[in-house]
Amino acid sequence: MQFEDTVRRWDAFELRLPSDPDDALYAEAGLRTVFAKGTRQLYADGFYDGNGSLIVRFMPDEQGVWSFHADGPSLPIGGLKGEFLCLPADAGVHGPVRVADATHFAYADGTAFTPFGTELSAWHIQDDACRAKTIHTLQASVFNKARMSLMPNAENRGPGETVFSPFAAGEGGKLDFDRYNPAYFARLEECLQALGQHGIEAELTLFPANEADIQLTPVQEERYIRYVVSRLAAYRNVWWTIADLGDGTLRRDKDWRCGCRTVRECDYGQHLLTVHGAPAAYDWGAPWLTHISLRHEEVTIASTFTLQYEKPVIIDHCGYEGTGPGKENALPPEELVYRIWEGLTRGGYVTHGEALIGSGDTCWSIHGGELQGECWPRIDYLRKLISDAPEFLTYNRMRHDVSTIERQGDYSLSYFGAHRCTSRLFAMPGGEFAVDLIDTWNMKLERLDQTFQERFVIKLPGKLYYALRLQKVSDVPVTGTITEQEQEPLLAVGDGD
């Protein structure tokens, strides 16, 4: 029995146990461990790592002494017991991301988390040089979430790479769905750790949209889910997406429901869990889904889904910055930046994608490497603006003329996007406000040289992709010049309409 007797809060504790080499253990390791602190008891399943090695992993979420009791047919009668000390978390470590305030996200310690995600579906199966380049690029970029596929297409692997599938190769190179590939998971875990070191969440899609080459029986599907969750639930930066539902065809609802239940049974850490698909692809109100992950080009639906389901909404696929051939791969950068701003100011979150071809016929959203496009600096600019804003801004659905997130009475961020307005009327009782005019494409901010209060009109440049930020700088007594009706958040564009 091998383990470290100390571990940091929200880091991975690992218990290694010797076993007779037996490939049947991939399907069922038969190892169950209870971790206890005080009256709390959490259960973690073990997994087989090949070469006669059984492993149990656990993510302690509380400081102090934890005890454990491992039991199973391959262990001595009565099992094995031990304990370890959980130390305070390292500086900058905030724990797993959870849902907060119904439609937002925060780390376990309460620190707010705003996802600025990008798609990197197969970066983890590329060669060493490409993976290192991807991490280097992420360090210098805005992104704090990477969307990945656990079953990437074989043709997306790097030159000469053989570690591309979670399943082991059987006779004639055909995948054996009853055995797993420890080398693949070791590579994946190395990537998860690298992302975690840089504060990047890893959203893992367990089943792809195209399953032509992956035909699992229901028993094999459940075993696969249990194996994946047992191996990876100890990583604090993991999110689960049970399946990519692709084109939106309503299918296998019962199977995905069972898959979600299996994840919940195995995941003592209760990481975020969803499915991904078109708006009509799933029952998004299902209580086992922590948040909504949509595939849709019209990002304004974020506000509708947030209101209807009272869950965080991420539009994880709205198209890619690129030059074709399909329309979803041919968005000009201005359009993708527009969609990300529009989705955010509608109360949701929008994931970046890039299909531009770089060196070696690779593209960022499949292979990683280097960003080629013009979007990401503008997204970085947006993230800096949001980092200076109050936490948990909400969409005001009464402001029909412009997408707005705000803390009512204190702060608002309005995005005009494709509308070339020349002025706008505001009614803001009870405070004095500073106003910033933001050119979102050219990343320029102009602070107006006066403050405003109660009822006022702001002149706008009549150009595309502008935003307006209002921040309260002091409280001012209400004079009574604003009627009760005017205090309602329904405001009109003030150029004669």
CATH of the domain at 41: 2.60.40.10
Cut 0.85: pTM above it: yes
Residues 345-377 have pLDDT tens digits of 999 999 999 999 988 788 999 999 999 999 999
User: Of the candidates 380, 302, 261, 337, which has an alpha carbon nearest to the alpha carbon of residue 104?
Assistant: 302
CATH code of the domain containing 410: 2.60.40.3950
Is 487 contained in some domain?
A: no
Is 450 within a domain? Answer: yes
174 is a domain residue? yes
Residues 289 and 335 in one domain: yes
Same domain assignment for residues 176 and 231:
yes
Asked if 297 and 319 count as a contact pair (C-beta separation under 8 A), the reply is: yes
Look up the CATH number of the domain holding residue 279.
3.20.20.80
Q: Are residues 341 and 280 in the same domain?
A: yes
Residues 341 and 410 in one domain: no
Same domain, yes or no: 407 and 371: no
Question: Is residue 485 pLDDT above 50, yes or no?
Answer: no
Closest C-alpha among 327, 330, 352, 331 to residue 341 = 352
Residue 270 inside a domain? The answer is yes
483 — pLDDT class (breaks 50, 70, 90): very low
Please compute the mean of the pLDDT values over residues 176-198 and round it to a whole number.
96
Q: How far apart are CA 100 and CA 112, in angstroms?
A: 8
> 434 and 301 share a domain?
no
Q: Is residue 292 within 8 Å of residue 326, measured between CB atoms? A: no
- In terms of domains, do 376 and 423 share one? no
| Structural domain contains residue 464 | yes
pLDDT at residue number 276: 95
What percent of the chain is predicted at pLDDT more than 90? 77
Query: Which of residues 352, 387, 422 is at a domain's end?
Result: 387
Closest CA to 244 of 115, 122, 148: 148
Residues 367 and 447 in one domain: no
Mean per-residue pLDDT, 465-480: 83
Same domain, 231 and 257: yes
Number of structural domains the chain divides into: 3
> What are the Cα distances from residue 326, in Å, to 164, 340, 355?
26, 20, 11
Q: What is the pLDDT of residue 452?
A: 95
- On the question of pLDDT at 300 being above 50, the answer is yes
Choose one of 87, 105, 137: the last residue of a domain.
87
In whole angstroms, how far apart are CA 322 and each of 247, 262, 352, 362, 363?
A: 20, 38, 12, 12, 10
Q: Does 401 lie in the same domain as 367?
A: no
Q: Is residue 365 part of a domain?
A: yes
Q: Does 485 reside within a domain?
A: no
The answer on 53 and 148 residing in a single domain is: no
> Would 480 be classed as within a structural domain?
no
Residue 234 contacts residue 192 (beta carbons within 8 Å): no
- Provide mean pLDDT across the span 173-183: 92
**Which of 87, 114, 145 finishes a domain?**
87
Mean pLDDT, rounded, for 294-298: 96
Structural domain span for residue 453: 396-475
* Same domain assignment for residues 370 and 424: no
